[in-house]
Amino acid sequence: MEKIDWEKLPFGYLKTNFNVRCNYRNGEWGELEVHDSEFVNLHMAATSLHYGQEVFEGLKAYRGADDKIRLFRVEENARRFQRSANGILMPELPVEKFTEAVNKVVAINKEYVPPHGTGGTLYIRPLLIGYSAEIGVKPAKEYLFIVFVSPVGPYFKEGFKPVNLMICRNFDRTAPLGTGSYKVGGNYAASLKSLKEAHDAGYSTTLYLDAKEKKYIDEAGPANFFGIKGNTYITPESKSILPSITNMSLMDLAAHLGINVEKRPVLYDELSTFDEVGACGTAAVIAPVGKIYDPDFDKTFVYSADGHPGPICQKLYRKITDIQFGDEEDIFGWIDYVT
């Protein structure tokens, strides 16, 4: 294994030793298999290539000061993987098979789980693809499940420092009754142009408004949105956003810390009323938002003028990462150990 500078890891792909796979054939899931190739031998007419029959997940393994390796709410990812698969007519991988595969892939690559205190984690990427050949628009008969890992650093290069968002009204990542609540590859393809527009203008990511009326807040790029007003944590209720496991956990932690929680449609007009804003997801945990720019009205909403995250974002970030890395007792039952 090459020497890795754990403190300077980007959020990118780094080759590890093994990946774990499982085939679905004749209506049944096979056994888990360990592979050392990074490549897939795929039929050119596979439905994943033509019709986007592909779903994926993202979670992390965390090394504690006790050297134990922890997974955070892995069963929630397993269930969301099933919902996503179901959403585009793919077979559901049993929850136990998903968790077994995740445990296995981390265990056989454990030297790639970054040391405690470096801020690095082992990112875990399960995916499921339509594997067999079709030409008509229909689901495949055979599927391939793969889970691979890569050690990563922070998603946004800023780390836990405010990032800036840009509203892009000229693009939607998903339709009102579309696939936004599933983690399907097509949603990310649909987001690439708006993401480039935001990057080219100097912003970290896009802030999506609802596709129908452009009146409500949906998501912040590949992360959920929340705003803090006084002692209240407010996050959008919308059928077009991915139900984030990080957001779900932050809502529980906020309630535990005596912060009020509201999950409801959030109006664009409320942007001017928030004291703090954050984007949350597995990759970024919480990216505190410094400002949001609305190019159509040349308007800027500022949440951090001094370059520091607000107090509630700081408190929640500390709490969730302390639980993930085992620096604080897990009273919620969110942690599983990799053996």
Among 53, 103, 121, 246, contact with ligand PLP (rule: CB under 6 A): 246
Among 82, 164, 205, 224, contact with ligand PLP (rule: CB under 6 A): 224
Residue type, 64: G
Report which secondary-structure segment, H or E, holds 300. strand 299-302
Q: Is 244 in the site for ligand PLP (CB under 6 A)?
A: yes
Which one of ligand PLP, ligand COI, none interacts with residue 285, CB within 5 to 8 A by kind?
none
Residue with Cβ nearer ligand PLP (131 or 226) = 226
Residue with Cβ nearer ligand PLP (46 or 101) = 101
Q: Is 238 in the site for ligand PLP (CB under 6 A)?
A: no
Location of structure tokens 């093994």: 18
Strands 217-220 and 121-130 come out as unpaired
Among 55, 90, 245, 286, contact with ligand PLP (rule: CB under 6 A): 245
Applying CB under 6 A, the span of 45-53, 244-252, 288-296, 322-330 interacting with ligand PLP comes to 244-252
Among this protein's residues, is 183 annotated catalytic? Answer: yes
- Residues from 37 through 96 that contact ligand PLP (CB under 6 A): 58
Evaluate whether 316 touches 252 at the Cβ level (below 8 Å).
no
The three-class DSSP label of residue 185 is helix
Residue 100 CB, nearest approach to ligand PLP (Å): 20
Which one of ligand COI, ligand PLP, none interacts with residue 224, CB within 5 to 8 A by kind?
ligand PLP
What is the C-alpha separation between 54 and 239, in angstroms, rounded?
20
Instruction: Quote the distance between the C-alpha of residue 5 and its chain's center.
Output: 24
Q: Is 222 in the site for ligand PLP (CB under 6 A)?
A: yes
Selection from 271, 270, 294 nearest residue 198 by Cα: 294
Strands 59-63 and 28-29 come out as unpaired
Distances 108 to 55, 75, 165, 261, 319 between C-alpha atoms, Å: 24, 20, 38, 40, 29
- Largest Cα separation within the chain, whole Å, is 59
Strands 163-167 and 285-294 come out as parallel
Residues in Cβ contact with 220 at an 8 Å cutoff, skipping those fewer than 6 apart? 165, 205, 206, 207, 208, 279, 287, 289
Residue 242 CB, nearest approach to ligand COI (Å): 8
User: Which position among 60, 183, 239, 299 bears the catalytic label?
Assistant: 183
Residues in Cβ contact with 26 at an 8 Å cutoff, skipping those fewer than 6 apart? none
Q: What number of other Cβ atoms are within 10 A of residue 39's Cβ?
A: 6
Among 238, 282, 304, 324, contact with ligand PLP (rule: CB under 6 A): 282
Binding site for ligand COI (CB under 6 A): 58, 222-223, 281-284
Residue with Cβ nearer ligand PLP (132 or 324) = 324
Among 242, 277, 289, 323, contact with ligand PLP (rule: CB under 6 A): 242
> Which residues are designated catalytic?
183
Residues that bind ligand PLP (CB under 6 A): 58, 219, 222-224, 242, 244-247, 281-282
